Amino acid sequence: MGKDGGFLTPKAIGNRIKAKGLQKLRWYCQSCEKQCRDENGFKCHIQSESHQRQLILVGENSGKYIANYSNEFHSGFFSTLRRSFGTKRVLANTVYCEYIKERDHIHMNATRWVALAGYVRWLGSQGLCEIEQTERGWYVTLIDKDPDTVRREMESERKEKMDLDDEQRRQKLIAEQIKRDKDRGIEPPEAVYTEFVREDENEKVQVTFNQTVVTEKKKTLQPSVLAVVSKKRTSSTDETPDEPEVKKSKSETTVETSVFKKPLPVSAKPKKSALEEVREMEEKMKEKKNRKDYWLHESIVVKIITMKVGEKYYKKKGIITKVENRYQAIIKMMDTNDKIRIDQAHVETVIPAIGKKVLLVNGAYRGQEAILEDIHQDAFSVDVTITKGAMNGIRLDNIPYEDVSKLAD
């Protein structure tokens, strides 16, 4: 095929491959939107008459052109961030690499931002993204400001606040009723347990059953036991000499002895009052509602239990300064003041000394501040007294270790 073979020549194919891919930024003219492939081509372009005319137009109103380029760059970058990554935390340079894959994109050097870091800081100042500077670079997290999403979040927060207010009012009402009963001298009856003592060792113990108890026994006892019970009751009430005697087996004799000779335990459990039943039901509802699979809170002290973040942080304590996505937290180490990001699964709660402030991080009283009263090491639980809010002064016993953590001073 000749030199000017046309569309399928190696040179033509190579030119199309080069034109399809990205070229060097220093050989691109944004005002003319022309990409040159080498230094010589770019030199020829800037000396051309068309380029000179375009520069004159741009120079007459440079602020307008730079503002337009900046708006187009922001629109393309932000659209890529929203479409490809959503609300995930991602490296800003990763988003930029995804954005410049489009051949006709607006280049950064044509905008008012000198570098990508400046643009990322601008996103943070405008409240469009949450930004964070790390050793790897700037991370961005999109803040979803969709009207429907914002409305749903506001409605959810308002509903939770109303539910919390109703719960606090109920707890306060129950506490006032208990206090009034105590002031009047009304105390719930306590169970009294006494030891079974027989005056005469040879005295025969007789046990009577009402019809309800006998019916329940028939549902549970074996047939041999039922036969013995029935026979025993018959012999103790109506003796009939003409009735043939039933020969007992060894197993039946043993069962009879165990049923009629062994004293039955007496249940002395007091019946719960209506107030106690209501309070118990409220506690169960609160526990079911506030028990979550995430427990991280700001301003609490936690201990790192993984080697993945470095050996120097293992078994060290830190203060949570920020909670992200409910399961991740930014921790400021107490001994080195280093800040690290870590997952909930790699930390555990810290139990302070008695008398120190703690926060209930999970369970029925989630989010309440309290004072540590006692520690039960054998049961891995603590006793606390709430110090703030409508439930101030309420003492909670046997709270598991994982539901309580020390508050930072």
Number of C-beta neighbours around residue 171 at 10 A? 20
Q: pLDDT (tens digit, 9 = 90+) per residue, 69-82? A: 888 888 888 888 88
- CATH code matching the domain that covers 17-142, chosen among 3.40.1740.10, 3.30.750.200, 1.10.10.2030, 3.90.850.10: 1.10.10.2030
**Which residue would you say has higher pLDDT here, 170 or 339?**
339
The residue extents of the domains of the chain are 17-142, 146-182, 276-406
Model pLDDT, residue 144: 74
Q: Please tell me the class of the 276-406 domain.
A: mainly beta
Encoded tokens for 363: 């369970």
Task: Judge contact between 230 and 252, C-beta under 8 A.
Answer: no
Model pLDDT, residue 251: 41
Q: pLDDT (tens digit, 9 = 90+) per residue, 319-354? A: 999 998 888 899 999 988 888 888 898 999 999 999
Q: pLDDT (tens digit, 9 = 90+) per residue, 132-165? A: 888 888 899 888 766 666 677 777 777 777 766 6
Dihedral, 334, 340, 342, 348 alpha carbons, nearest 10: -10
**Whole-number Cα distances in Å, 365 to 177, 321, 324, 325, 361:** 20, 22, 22, 22, 8
301 forms bridges with which residues in the sheet?
A: 319
**Which residue would you say has higher pLDDT here, 251 or 207?**
207
H or E stretch at 404: strand 404-406
Model pLDDT, residue 147: 65
Model pLDDT, residue 198: 67
How far from the centroid of its chain's Cα atoms is residue 389's Cα?
23
Contacts 24+ apart (CB under 8 A), 221-226: 224/249, 224/251, 224/252, 224/255, 225/255, 225/259
Model pLDDT, residue 235: 42
Amino acid 243 reads E
Nearest to 290 by CA among 406, 136, 399: 399
Mean pLDDT score, 191-202: 68
Q: pLDDT (tens digit, 9 = 90+) per residue, 2-12? A: 455 577 888 88
**Range with lowest mean pLDDT among 38-47, 126-135, 189-198, 376-385:** 189-198
Residue 169, pLDDT above cutoff 60: yes
Mean pLDDT score, 52-65: 77
Global pTM value: 0.37
Percent of the chain surpassing pLDDT 70: 71
**Which residue would you say has higher pLDDT here, 352 or 46?**
352
Percent of the chain surpassing pLDDT 90: 16
| Most confident segment among 172-176, 237-241, 343-347 | 343-347
